[in-house]
């Protein structure tokens, strides 16, 4: 019986994932569940064949250049890989995989939670009742923005964007999208393609971000693009904090140009943005788009499927480099 490959799992994954990993690999794991620092990544890489990291472990160019020669594969427990310098990893001959598809439903659910909550003032309403300060009612009280029949813009029509478009149909929304390329009609879910943001943004009562964070999409939402949204529109971000210039967003909220925002991702995580948190019309969640029991199992299994394929000598299904 050959020795099992040695696998470092950086964070606490679902119990089912941990059990399967421990059955098939020699697992190194710290139940303290703290993010792996650069030093930890470099140290562990000298003694393991594989790592399952999350987006909390940063494989920068400097870290990658110091990785030990034993490490052969990084099987990410995430669909986003902006924490990995893929070019540097490729040049070191380290295989990298991610977990696409399996978190699309869960992430679209959170995007819709934020969309509805931001539109209908869920945070203000909840605090009023919870704090015991709900003392009167009137037809002019807590009036919000209706979602049904409105226009939803989607930036990034990958798997999550497509689920979002399908869910929007349930609210009779008209969906518009911008993507690097137009999708085949079967995947468009009836949404209208916009080659450029210039034509998409003026069509959005709601704008939901679903593209990866790359050099090209860094601060895709900035002062200029926010101004192209109609006055009174609502921004939703469940993708990555790097997509949004938060000071421009804060200004758009303060001035009333945006009616509200719903954010699950921030430039600084964990923590968020205290200036945005001061606005009751900004609905905030702590990066929990994929955090359901079903999806955590599915992400863990997908990462392990990729590892299993690699150690069988096959190309993992979700190989990126
Ligand atoms: C992802 O998979 O990219 C989610 O943001 C969780 O890391």
| Ligand 1 atom nearest to 103, measured from its CA | 2
pLDDT score for 81:
98
Contact indicator for 117, 145 with CB cutoff of 8 Å:
no
Is residue 321 in some structural domain? no
pLDDT score for 2:
72
Is residue 268 in some structural domain? yes
Tell whether 168 and 190 lie within a shared domain.
yes
Tell whether 74 and 128 lie within a shared domain.
no
Tell whether 225 and 198 lie within a shared domain.
yes
The parent domain of residue 252 ranges over 104-284
Q: Which residue has the tokens 């989607």?
A: 154
Q: Atom 4 of ligand 1 has which residue's CA nearest to it? A: 78
Tell whether 94 and 108 lie within a shared domain.
no
Q: Which residues contact 263 (CB under 8 A, 6 or more apart)?
A: 114, 236, 237, 244, 272, 276, 282, 283, 284, 285
Tell whether 216 and 305 lie within a shared domain.
no
Q: Atom 2 of ligand 1 has which residue's CA nearest to it? A: 78
| Measured distance CA(77)–CA(126) in Å, rounded | 33
Sign of the Cα torsion 75, 77, 78, 79 reads positive
pLDDT score for 203:
98
Give me the CATH number covering residue 214: 3.40.50.720
Tell whether 183 and 250 lie within a shared domain.
yes
Tell whether 133 and 95 lie within a shared domain.
no
Tell whether 98 and 144 lie within a shared domain.
no
Is residue 147 in some structural domain? yes
What is the tally of structural domains in the chain?
Answer: 2
Vertex 53 angle, CA 49 and 54, to 5°: 170
Q: Atom 1 of ligand 1 has which residue's CA nearest to it? A: 78
pLDDT along the chain (321 residues), means of 10: 91 98 98 98 98 98 98 98 98 98 98 98 97 98 98 98 98 98 95 98 99 97 98 98 98 98 98 98 98 98 98 98 98
Is residue 50 in some structural domain? yes
pLDDT score for 160:
98
Tell whether 167 and 277 lie within a shared domain.
yes
Examine the residue annotation and report whether 319 is marked as an active-site residue of this protein.
no
Verify whether ligand 1 is closer than 6 Å to residue 55 (CB atom).
yes
Q: What is the CA radius of gyration of the chain?
A: 21
Tell whether 184 and 275 lie within a shared domain.
yes
| Ligand 1 atom nearest to 265, measured from its CA | 5
Is residue 317 in some structural domain? no
Tell whether 66 and 149 lie within a shared domain.
no
CA nearest to 204, candidates 213, 214, 212, 192: 192
| Measured distance CA(320)–CA(263) in Å, rounded | 28
Which helix (H) or strand (E) segment holds residue 75: the answer is strand 73-75
Q: Which residues contact 101 (CB under 8 A, 6 or more apart)?
A: 159, 302
Q: Which residues contact 318 (CB under 8 A, 6 or more apart)?
A: 97, 98, 99, 100, 302, 306
Tell whether 86 and 134 lie within a shared domain.
no
Is residue 1 in some structural domain? no
Is residue 177 in some structural domain? yes
* Annotated catalytic residue, options 20, 287, 296, 302: 287
Is residue 192 in some structural domain? yes
């Amino acid at each position: 019986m050959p020795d099992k490959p040695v696998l470092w799992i950086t964070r606490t994954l679902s119990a089912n994932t941990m059990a399967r990993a421990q059955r098939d690999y020699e697992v190194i794991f710290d139940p303290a569940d703290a993010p792996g620092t650069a030093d930890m990544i470099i140290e562990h890489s000298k003694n393991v064949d594989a790592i399952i990291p999350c987006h909390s472990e940063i494989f920068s160019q400097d870290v990658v250049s110091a990785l030990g020669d034993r490490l052969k594969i990084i099987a990410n427990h995430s669909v986003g890989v902006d924490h990995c310098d893929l070019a540097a990893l490729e040049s070191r001959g380290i295989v990298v995989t991610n977990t696409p598809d399996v978190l699309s439903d869960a992430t679209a659910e959170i995007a819709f939670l934020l969309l509805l909550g931001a539109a209908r003032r869920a945070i203000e309403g909840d605090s009023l009742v919870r704090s015991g300060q709900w003392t009167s009612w009137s037809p002019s009280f807590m009036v919000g923005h209706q979602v049904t029949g409105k226009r939803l813009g989607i930036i990034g029509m990958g798997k999550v964007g497509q689920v979002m478009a399908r869910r929007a149909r349930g609210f009779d929304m008209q969906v518009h999208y911008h993507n690097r390329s137009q999708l085949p009609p079967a995947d468009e879910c009836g949404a209208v393609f916009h080659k450029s943001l210039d034509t998409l943004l003026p069509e959005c009562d709601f704008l939901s971000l679903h593209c990866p964070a790359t050099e090209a999409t860094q601060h895709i939402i900035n002062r200029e693009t926010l101004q192209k949204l109609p006055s009174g529109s609502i921004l939703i971000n469940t993708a990555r904090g790097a997509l949004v210039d938060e000071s421009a967003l804060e200004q758009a909220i303060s001035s009333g140009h945006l009616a509200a925002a719903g954010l699950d991702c921030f430039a600084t995580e964990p923590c968020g943005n205290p200036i945005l948190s001061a606005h009751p019309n900004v609905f905030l969640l702590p990066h929990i788009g994929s955090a359901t029991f079903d999806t955590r199992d599915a992400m863990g299994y997908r990462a392990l499927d990729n590892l299993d394929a690699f150690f069988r000598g096959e190309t993992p299904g979700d190989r990126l480099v």
